[in-house]
Each structure stands twice: as structure tokens, then as C-alpha cells.
């Protein structure tokens, strides 16, 4: 399938914004949704909307099959051993919070350390700050190389036998760098720690095998991978999940309830208190079918090419600084001399080009880069070289508009 055929599957892309054809370069924030995902959710609400796991009636059975079928699709997509290891959450943030609140609180004490990096998204920083505060554990950071990559020597030096949790993003939402999480997991395990991976920017863009990575927990969001908002996944090794306490209590997650004591359902349901995100999970399952049809390796290669093309075209404009290593996923973060990235994004928007501006939920990384904010163009399977050209041409207009302060 070529990119023009792929684009036809995304109805939202076929529109004008501010009188210009829409060029959507903000997929790292949230991706667009193909028609088949929109239709699948519509079909659920029109034909078999019903609660799951409870009813003996026919619609309830369809809904349960759809919901549990989606869990199996997720399992196969990330190559987990069993659906017991796949927990539906609200997204990456909730998934990491679940690990921090349950595993973190029960396994950490004042002598222990949690190790993360300064490039993490706030979702992979603040839960650990909170756990460190409540347990007395120490939060430590693996230093970054000048280009924003992680050197394994620094991992070896930072992770010690006091470390109980190492949590690192697979792909940076700012630098686009792909972190060596498999090798970091080996260092974590050698020291007796568990490895948590924030996969929000990896699962949508590349083939991920959680068993090969040998991570203990892996978190990601549906809305960045052509699926609906409001649903995400926590993968966890069964040996850990079995020992962990739920963090949300109520309906759906119980086995027996007495007046003073209760027991929990088996995995994965003990972590899914309340009516689950049924339509969301079914939509995510359809998004996985769609991504499999295109092929994750094709998606990664396509985005890689677009990012490299964008970087080479940006080099033509004086005063544009691009952050991050050369080898990267489809994210290009930049600044234009003294023009504030919000102003850059506003002028680009007037040209129909949607990019992100701000701190990208990575304030410690902004500090490390010594900037207050940046602009970011991010690519996905539906973007084209023409999108990159439109973006670069709009940036040239921005330069003309801001005159002296830019270049």
C-alpha cells in the first residue's frame, strides 16, 4: 500500500485549515484515526453496546468477545506470553502510575533507589518522585550524552545493588532517540532491579517484542497508534503482577466480597476495577489490525526517511537548530533563533501546518537542552515528502515574517 492509499483511509486529513491543505505533523501528541477504527467503534455502539463479563444475554457476550478479543490482539502485537499480562488502562500515564503505586510502594524503602533519565516525559518522572517521597527511596538519573543519547557505561555506573526500579522511555518524544532498553534491562536485572519501559512513542512506530526486550513492565497509549483516546496498556510479567496489589477497588475486579473482607479476581482483571473501557479496547484492537496490515517495519522505515529528509531540508535555513541524535524515529524538534516556538507554531498554523510547541511534558529535558521550549514536527505513516516541503516552506515564510530575530 503506498502512502497516498494510506492517506485516503484517514478522513480528517482531507481538509483545509486556514484556507490551506492540512499538513498534520503532531502525531507524537496524538495520531489521526483511520476510517476502519472509527467505524469499528461506531459499530459497537450501534449494534452490541453492552457491559462485559456480567450478562448472560447475547449483546453482553458480543461485547465481552470484542473486549477480550482486543486483549489477545494486544498480546500478539507486543509478543507477550499471555493475555494475563495485558492490563487495559486509561493510557501510558495511568499504566506507569499503576506500577509506581502498587509495585513501587510495596517494594521500596529508605535504602532503595529508583533510576530514570532526564529525558523522560513527566509521566515517567512524577510517579517516581511521589513514590520516592512516600517510601523514602532515592531517585537517581542516568546522565545523558551531548547528543541526548544514553551511554551504557553511565547506566552501569548509576544502577547499583540498591536500585530496585529502572524506568526509561523507549523512544524520546522530544529527541526522537531510540534508547537501548534491552541492554539497560540487562543491567537492571544484574543488579536485582525491575525494568519499566515507557513505550508511548515506540509501540506506534516499530515492532516491539516485550519478551525479547525482557522488560518487566511496558506501558503505552492507544491514541498515539491510530486507536481511540482513553485507553492504553500496561504489560507486566505475570510473576510480578501476581504478587502486586490492585490500586483501584470496586466492581469487576473482585471474586468474593464480604462485609469486612474481599478477594480479587485472577489476572488481568484484578487490575481493572469498574466497567472497563470497552469501546476503547475494541477500537484499539482494530487499530492493531490496521497497523499490522501496513507492517510495523514499513512504518518505521517510512518515518525514518521523512525525519532524515526534514533534517536535511531544515539545514537549508539559517538559524534553525535541530535537537537530538542523527539516528532517530520520526520526531524532529527544533528552534528558530530567538523566535519563541509558540510564534513559530502560530505562523505555521496559518499555513495549515500543525506542529507542537512548548516543553512537550519534558521540563527537565528542556532545562538540559538549556531552552524554555521548542517546536516539534512529528511524522507518521500518513505523512509525505510533500508534507515536509510544505512545512519547510512555511518555516521560510516564518523567517521572512520575523526578519531580524531569525537567522
Tell me the C-alpha to C-alpha distance, in Å, between residue 323 and each of 177, 207, 270, 338, 346.
10, 25, 42, 15, 20
**Considering the rule CB under 6 A, would residue 201 count as an interface residue with ligand PMP?**
yes
The vertex-198 CA angle with 155 and 225, nearest 5°, equals 145
Say if CB 24 and CB 49 are below 8 A apart.
no
Candidate list 98, 200, 345, 373; residue touching ligand PMP; CB under 6 A: 200
Among the listed ranges 74-82, 88-96, 280-288, 376-384, the one in contact with ligand PMP (CB under 6 A) is 88-96
Q: Looking up cell 492490563, which residue turns up?
A: 87
Smallest distance from ligand PMP to CB 280, Å: 12
- CB nearer ligand PMP, residue 101 or residue 123: 123
List binders of ligand PMP among 357-386 (CB under 6 A).
361
Binding characters for ligand PMP, 222-261, by CB under 6 A (x = yes): ----------x-----------------------------
Closest C-alpha among 153, 113, 146 to residue 132: 113
Cα–Cα distance, 216 to 392 (Å, whole number): 41
Cβ atoms 222, 280 nearer than 8 A: yes
Asked if residue 132 binds ligand PMP (CB under 6 A), the reply is: no
Closer Cβ to ligand PMP, 135 or 221, answer by number: 221
Out of 31, 32, 92, 374, name the contact with ligand PMP by CB under 6 A.
92
Tell me the window of 65-73, 91-99, 207-215, 393-401 that interacts with ligand PMP (CB under 6 A): 91-99
- Kindly indicate which of the ranges 10-18, 58-66, 116-124, 144-152 contains the residues binding ligand PMP, using the contact rule CB under 6 A: 116-124
Does position 221 interact with ligand PMP (CB under 6 A)? The reply is yes
**Does residue 399 come out as left (phi exceeding 0), alpha (psi in the -120 to 50 range) or beta?**
alpha
The count of residues interacting with ligand PMP (CB under 6 A) is: 14
Does residue 117 touch ligand PMP according to CB under 6 A?
A: no
Extended strands (E) in 182-328: 194-198, 217-221, 232-236, 254-257, 262-264, 320-323
C-alpha cell at 51: 457491559
Could you say whether residue 169 binds ligand PMP (CB under 6 A)? yes
Q: Is 361 a catalytic residue?
A: yes
121 is a contact residue toward ligand PMP (CB under 6 A):
yes
Strands 331-336 vs 320-323: parallel, antiparallel or unpaired: antiparallel
Interaction between residue 202 and ligand PMP (CB under 6 A): no
CA 73, CA 170: separation in Å to the nearest integer? 21
Q: Which of residues 170-189 bind ligand PMP (CB under 6 A)?
A: 173
Q: Which of 215, 226, 336, 361 is catalytic?
A: 361
Sheet holding 320-323, edge to edge: 320-323, 331-336, 374-378, 356-358
Reading the block at residue 161, the C-alpha cell is 545493588
The residues binding ligand PMP (CB under 6 A) are 91-93, 121, 123-124, 169, 173, 198, 200-201, 221, 232, 361
Catalytic residues: 361
Amino acid at each position: 500500500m503506498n502512502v497516498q492509499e494510506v492517506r485516503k483511509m484517514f478522513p480528517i486529513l482531507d481538509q483545509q485549515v486556514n484556507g490551506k491543505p492540512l499538513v498534520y505533523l503532531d502525531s507524537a501528541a496524538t495520531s489521526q484515526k483511520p476510517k476502519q477504527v472509527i467505524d469499528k467503534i461506531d459499530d459497537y455502539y450501534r449494534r452490541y453496546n453492552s457491559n462485559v463479563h456480567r450478562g448472560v444475554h447475547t449483546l453482553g457476550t458480543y461485547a465481552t468477545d470484542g473486549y477480550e478479543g482486543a486483549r489477545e490482539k494486544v498480546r500478539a502485537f507486543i509478543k507477550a506470553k499471555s493475555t494475563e499480562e495485558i492490563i487495559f488502562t486509561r493510557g501510558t500515564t495511568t499504566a506507569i502510575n499503576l506500577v509506581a503505586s502498587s509495585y513501587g510502594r510495596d517494594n521500596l524503602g529508605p535504602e532503595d533507589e529508583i533510576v530514570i533519565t532526564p529525558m523522560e516525559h513527566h509521566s515517567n518522572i512524577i510517579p517516581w518522585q511521589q513514590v520516592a517521597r512516600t517510601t523514602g527511596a532515592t531517585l537517581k538519573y542516568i546522565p545523558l550524552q551531548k547528543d541526548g543519547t544514553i551511554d551504557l557505561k553511565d547506566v552501569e555506573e548509576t544502577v547499583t545493588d540498591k536500585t530496585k526500579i529502572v524506568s526509561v522511555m523507549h523512544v524520546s518524544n522530544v529527541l526522537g532517540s531510540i534508547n537501548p532498553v534491552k541492554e539497560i534491562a540487562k543491567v537492571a536485572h544484574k543488579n536485582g532491579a525491575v525494568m519499566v519501559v515507557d513505550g508511548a512513542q515506540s509501540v506506534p512506530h516499530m515492532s516491539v517484542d516485550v519478551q525479547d526486550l525482557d522488560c518487566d513492565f511496558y506501558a503505552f497509549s492507544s491514541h498515539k497508534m491510530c486507536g481511540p483516546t482513553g485507553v492504553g496498556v500496561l504489560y507486566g510479567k505475570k510473576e510480578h503482577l501476581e504478587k502486586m496489589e490492585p490500586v483501584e477497588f470496586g466492581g469487576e475486579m473482585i471474586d468474593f466480597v464480604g462485609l469486612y473482607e474481599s478477594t480479587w479476581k485472577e489476572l488481568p482483571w484484578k487490575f481493572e476495577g469498574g466497567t472497563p473501557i470497552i469501546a476503547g479496547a475494541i477500537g484499539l484492537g482494530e487499530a492493531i489490525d490496521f497497523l499490522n496490515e501496513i507492517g510495523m517495519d514499513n512504518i518505521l522505515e517510512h518515518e525514518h526517511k521523512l525525519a532524515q529528509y526534514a533534517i536535511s531540508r531544515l539545514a537549508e535555513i539559517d538559524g534553525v537548530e535541530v535537537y537530538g541524535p542523527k539516528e532517530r524515529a520520526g520526531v524532529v524538534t527544533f528552534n528558530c533563533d530567538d523566535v519563541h516556538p509558540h510564534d513559530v507554531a502560530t505562523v505555521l498554523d496559518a499555513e495549515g501546518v500543525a506542529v507542537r510547541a512548548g516543553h512537550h511534558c519534558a521540563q527537565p529535558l528542556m532545562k538540559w537542552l538549556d531552552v524554555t521550549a521548542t517546536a516539534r514536527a512529528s511524522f507518521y505513516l500518513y505523512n509525505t515528502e510533500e508534507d515536509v516541503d510544505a512545512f519547510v516552506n512555511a518555516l521560510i515564510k516564518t523567517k521572512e515574517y520575523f526578519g531580524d530575530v531569525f537567522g
